[in-house]
Structure 1
Amino acid sequence: MKAVQLTGHGDRDVIEYDEFPDPEVGRDEVLVDVKAAALNHLDIWTRRGLPGIDLSFPHIPGSDMAGTVAEVGTDVTRFEPGDRVALIAGVAGDDAEGSGASFPRRDDPTLAPDFHIIGEHSRGVHAEYAAVPAANLVPVPDHVDWEVAGSASLVFQTAWRMLIHRAELRAGERVLVHGASGGVGHAAVQIADYAGCEVFATASSEEKLAYAADCGADHGINYEESDFARDVHDLTDGRGVDVVVDHIGEATYDDSLKSLRKGGRFVTCGATTGPNPDAALNRIFWNQLEVIGSTMATPEQAEEALELVWEGVLEPRIRATLPMSESARAHEMIENREGFGKVVVIPDSEL
């Protein structure tokens, strides 16, 4: 089969699309004929090299995909050949390669010491075929386009857990979403709007803010042209927002805390501009702020979010669809913050 491969850690020149051995299907696994997949920021960090994560090269990246079941392992009863499925990439199991591992439905498997993510810590799914644990797949209704099914899971489950389950968002609250043009950002805007909140979105251009408004943002702030903390202060008559959704890190952390009302909640799932800002403990304790971490979602939480996608209530916006052979260009689009929404890649054999 053909697969996207990283030949090592580095710049985009380590990305190749070439022959790779066909995957072997474990007893608890399903072989998926991949129809569409999508990139996330974690693909960039995986390529560059994350501290503490040792990969075997060549490494197939990718944590989002959808396709049809081609084969099932001997112990699999949930699926059969021909079924339409999408990936939920979080794994709580002791097999780092995912072979035979399942996603046990504990209270919260994301807190398990052996939790890992397909594509980031183990072999991913940006290939013509992928063998993954059956417990990491969800059914996809016939009416859902492959590009939607292959791009929704990671960002919508992440944003859903952040807002609904970790920040415990309530109708009528004010929510500030950073990076509203990105995958998690544009999902968070839609979820906050769905929850009945007043949504403040930041982005780097008026065009991206217009897209954010179309996703449900009530207020758009161009962070390239203004101080977003000051704008939030003015727009809320000095009160601040109830919740800040942040995956940016050092560049936004301090002003994010300034944007919160007393007793507000700061929830984060990433740190794309750096992981170690000044903690600002004085502001946290004086204003009695909550700083909340969030990673991926439980299977039940992911399915909650995806049901809303399948129903058309939530929608992954697609900025570009490219053949997998142009994955280096897909990485470039994300690194350069080009466009709004998700970048989808499709096996060249499907085009």
Structure 2
Amino acid sequence: MQAMVTTGQGGYDKLEYRTLPLPLLRPGEVLLQVLAAGMNNTDINTRVGWYGATPGVAGGGAEPTSGDAPLGWNGATPFPLIQGADCCGRVVAVAPNVQGQEQVHAYGQLLGQRVLVRSCMRVSGFDAPDTRWLGTDFDGAFAQYLRVPASEVFAVQSDWSDVELASLPCAWGTAENMLQRAGVAAGEQVWVSGASGGVGSAAVQLARRRGAQVTALTSRDKRDAVAALGADRVLCREDGTAAWSQLPPADVVVDNVAGTGFGTWLKLLRRGGRYVSSGAIAGADVALDMRDLYLKDLTLLGCTAWDEVVFPNLIGYVERNEIRPVVAASFALQDMARAQEVFLEKQHTGNIVLVP
């Protein structure tokens, strides 16, 4: 098979398009033909060493810290590594002890099914925070074939294209997990930063699906695209924050941008509000005014490990046409370096997808 292999931390020269043997199945696994694979911030952050670096801007090329092992978000990254947390694939082989096993969501036989893979795998069960991530802790979807545990494969019955489905798992799973953890309910005021990105654009739709009133922050040139996602109110970064205090205070802030805007978000929250994050694309170092935190009885939520209901929820939303995909562009797998360049330009709305 052909695969894009990340050989270590560094520049685009660390991405190598290679011919590799097909993965050999172990008990409990299935083999997928990868139909399409979405791209995420973590693919770049892992390559440049951001998780083990002095805090800085995500995807900004920060140098890794000293030490023998290159650090990722779960410890040492197992280079050489096939990255890719987002997989839409078709089951083409099944380990003997999985053959005939029915999915927990009642879609019948695995073999031949078009499926999505749950990117975040809870290796010690859902009562423990331990995670194992596709494309970060073991080989992922930037290849023609992929082996994964059968328990993490979810058949999906939908007329979405392969590319559209591949835009879903990591970004939408992350967004749904944040809303689930924050307990977003109908009628609440939800503010979303970075609303044109993969996670942000998903959060807008998913919060609206829950009946929340959504205020989205984006750049002026993406205002119309974000409004089309269903945001009730779209604010432009270029206009500044002077008028924000006249708007309804936030019950929940969904913020994967962080950086210098972190303190502003806390001031916009009502007393008893919740701030939830799973990223820091504008910088990991933030200034916290402790008076905002304790005088307003705020709750700060960090979200990496997905709750059990998150991925089955997403499959249901797709099958009932309650959400719609937001795909900015697709590239051939061998053009991944160019796709990452476009990703870092941040001129797109939604997700970028690779096709083997």
TM-score w.r.t. the length of structure 2 is 0.87
Residue 34 of structure 2 is matched in structure 1 by 34
Residue 184 of structure 1 is matched in structure 2 by 199
1:10-62 per-residue CA deviation (whole Å, 9 max, x = no partner) reads 12232222212221111111100011110011111111123233233321110
Residue 149 of structure 2 is matched in structure 1 by 133
Residue 338 of structure 2 is matched in structure 1 by 329
1:269-315 per-residue CA deviation (whole Å, 9 max, x = no partner) reads 11122223122211111111111111242343211122102322112
Q: 1:196 to 1:339 in 2, by over 3 A?
A: same
User: What is the CA–CA distance in structure 1 between the aligned matches of 2:318 and 2:257, rounded to whole Å?
Assistant: 25
User: What is the CA–CA distance in structure 2 between the aligned matches of 1:83 and 1:68, rounded to whole Å?
Assistant: 6
| Counterpart check, 1:167 vs 2:204 | no
One of 61, 67, 70 as aligned partner of 2:89: 67
Write the letter of the residue equivalent to 1:211. Answer: A
1:207-227 per-residue CA deviation (whole Å, 9 max, x = no partner) reads x2211111111111111x122
User: What is the CA–CA distance in structure 2 between the aligned matches of 1:4 and 1:265, rounded to whole Å?
Assistant: 39
Secondary structure in structure 2 of the residue aligned to 1:345: strand
Where do 5+ consecutive residues of structure 1 fail to align? 94-103
| Counterpart check, 1:216 vs 2:238 | no
User: What is the CA–CA distance in structure 2 between the aligned matches of 1:296 and 1:176, rounded to whole Å?
Assistant: 22
Residue 245 of structure 2 is matched in structure 1 by 233
User: What is the CA–CA distance in structure 1 between the aligned matches of 2:163 and 2:307, rounded to whole Å?
Assistant: 23
Residue 208 of structure 2 is matched in structure 1 by 193
User: What is the CA–CA distance in structure 1 between the aligned matches of 2:22 and 2:325, rounded to whole Å?
Assistant: 30
User: What is the CA–CA distance in structure 2 between the aligned matches of 1:267 and 1:124, rounded to whole Å?
Assistant: 27
1:221-270 per-residue CA deviation (whole Å, 9 max, x = no partner) reads 111x1224x3321233xxx2111001112232111112111221111111
User: What is the CA–CA distance in structure 2 between the aligned matches of 1:125 and 1:108, rounded to whole Å?
Assistant: 27
Residue 106 of structure 2 is matched in structure 1 by none
Q: 1:213 to 1:142 in 2, by over 3 A?
A: closer
Comparing 244-253 with 63-72, greater Cα deviation is found at: 244-253
User: What is the CA–CA distance in structure 1 between the aligned matches of 2:247 and 2:4, rounded to whole Å?
Assistant: 46
Residue 315 of structure 1 is matched in structure 2 by 324
What is the aligned residue count?
326
| Counterpart check, 1:89 vs 2:119 | yes
Write the letter of the residue equivalent to 1:214. Answer: A
Q: Determine what percentage of the aligned residue pairs are the same residue.
A: 33
CA displacement at 1:142 relative to structure 2: 5.2
One of 120, 136, 140 as aligned partner of 1:124: 140
Where do 5+ consecutive residues of structure 2 fail to align? 53-70, 103-108
Alignment of 1:262-273 (within 5 A): 262-273=271-282
Q: 1:142 to 1:250 in 2, by over 3 A?
A: closer
Residue 58 of structure 2 is matched in structure 1 by none
Do the aligned partners of 1:269 and 1:295 also contact (CA within 8 Å) in 2?
A: yes
CA RMSD of aligned residues (A): 1.6
